[in-house]
Amino acid sequence: MRTIFYISDRTAITAEALGHCLLVQFADLNFKEITMPYVDSREKIEAVVERINQVARREAKKPIIFTTLVSPMIRQIINNCNALVLDPFDHFLGQLEAELHTKPLHEKGRSRRISDLDKYDNRIGAINFTLAHDDGAATNYDQCDIILTGISRCGKTPTCLYLALQFGIRAANFPLTEDMLNGETLPCLLRAHIDKLFGLTSDILRLHSVRSLRRPGSDYASRDQCRFELRAAEGLFRLHNIPYVNTSTHSIEEIASRIVHDRKLKRKYAHGG
């Protein structure tokens, strides 16, 4: 067991992402993860260093620290603790400064600029749109960027919400119902927007288990029903050349990124934290 600290003067989201990305390369080991955001003063960093040094003594192993601390003064303090400190600012900021011929802002860079994503219309607008267009509720698809479709419990709603929150994408979703599957036909509404469609599927056991949580012992959750619906849905996707992804083996991040990539969607960019 090894203790990992994610330390930032802001949200620590970047430090976490960086750490997770690297630590998955050592997947056989066990890690205990601790996130410490908003470490933005000398007092706070000194308390953090004390805690790190305690862990190092107790576990007789150096903790591993991922940091995105902006202030050089605070970075210097943490570099003296009894830990392996992995700091992308130390490594990359100097290289960026040399290439861009511009001094970094340091402390001042902490203050917030409104990113493209954070502009109200882009992000909150996309979330409101997505909630209003969940599960076939509203269907004015001219203004939407993507329409996810698939049978019940394949992840349409969570994926749409992720696309809206993370990328500012207006994502609708529309359920494939049994009459469409039996008739092997897509409704006109979807055929009119065929270039915006993206299919989600699952596998039989996963779908059976997820539907069983919702309605235990029902026909809806039975393996036979899951098998029939999955095969029919994939048949429809292939018939209409709709790209699709099996959500049972991918995280929401992976599914959403795949959709943005395959459908060449325009994304809004956030700032790091």
- Whose Cβ is closer to a second copy: residue 21's or residue 138's? 21
Give how far Cα 185 sits from Cα of 118, 179, 248, Å: 39, 9, 25
| Nearest-approach distance from CB 197 to a second copy, in angstroms | 20
CA 99 – CA 110 distance, rounded (Å): 22
Token reading at 92? 């990359």
User: Which amino acid does the sequence have at 141?
Assistant: Y
| Nearest-approach distance from CB 43 to a second copy, in angstroms | 16
Which helix (H) or strand (E) segment holds residue 259: the answer is: helix 252-262
- Whose Cβ is closer to a second copy: residue 99's or residue 179's? 99
Give how far Cα 40 sits from Cα of 90, 125, 233, Å: 17, 32, 52
Which helix (H) or strand (E) segment holds residue 125: the answer is: helix 120-132
CA 69 – CA 74 distance, rounded (Å): 7
- Whose Cβ is closer to a second copy: residue 34's or residue 77's? 34
| Nearest-approach distance from CB 92 to a second copy, in angstroms | 5
Alpha-carbon Rg for the chain in angstroms:
24
CA 11 – CA 51 distance, rounded (Å): 19
| Nearest-approach distance from CB 221 to a second copy, in angstroms | 14
| Nearest-approach distance from CB 123 to a second copy, in angstroms | 7
* DSSP class of 107: G
Find out whether 63 and 2 touch, Cβ atoms under 8 Å: yes
**Residue 247: Cβ within 10 Å count:** 23
| Nearest-approach distance from CB 49 to a second copy, in angstroms | 18
- Whose Cβ is closer to a second copy: residue 150's or residue 155's? 155
- Whose Cβ is closer to a second copy: residue 153's or residue 180's? 153
- Whose Cβ is closer to a second copy: residue 77's or residue 165's? 165
Find out whether 181 and 151 touch, Cβ atoms under 8 Å: yes
